[in-house]
Amino acid sequence: MAHKILIVEDNANNSTLLWDILTYHGYEVFVAVDGEEAIAQAKKLRPDLILMDIQMPGMDGMTAGKILKGDPATSLLKIVAQTSFAMHGDQEKFLAAGFNGYLAKPINTRELPALIQQWLNEE
C-alpha cells in the first residue's frame, strides 16, 4: 500500500510540483491550501507524512502544526515544515516546535525523494 502524503501549500505552482514528484514516486498524495484545511484532512486521512508550508494566509503552518502535535489523535503524525524564508536557526526552531523535519524552498527536486523516504522511515 502506498504511503499517504498531505501537501499543505497555498501556492498552486509549488503544490503541483510536489504532487508531480510524489505521485511519480508512487505516493498517494492529497492537498490542503491552508492550516484549517490541513487539520481537517490530517484528522480524516491520517497521512504518513505532512509537508506543511509555514507562510500561508489565514492559519499559518506553525499554528496548524502545533495544533496537530497537541492533539492526542494526531500527535504522532510526521510533519515537515517547508518555507521559502529560510533563515539561520529555522531548522532548530521548527524541530523544537515538534516538527519532524525542515525543507527549505526552493525545493531540490533531485534530493526530495530521498528526504521523503528518510522522514517516512524515522521512528
pTM of the entire predicted model: 0.94
Is 71 inside a domain boundary? yes
Contact, 80 vs 50, CB < 8 A? yes
Q: How many structural domains comprise the chain?
A: 1
**Domain range holding 106?**
65-84+100-112
Residue 11 has pLDDT above 90, yes or no: yes
Q: H-type helices in the chain, by residue range?
A: 12-24, 35-45, 61-70, 90-96, 112-121
Is 77 inside a domain boundary? yes
Contact, 39 vs 16, CB < 8 A? no
Report the pLDDT averaged over residues 48-53. 97
Q: What value does the mean pLDDT of the chain take?
A: 93
Q: What share of the chain is helix, strand, coil (3-state, %, to 5)?
A: 40, 20, 40
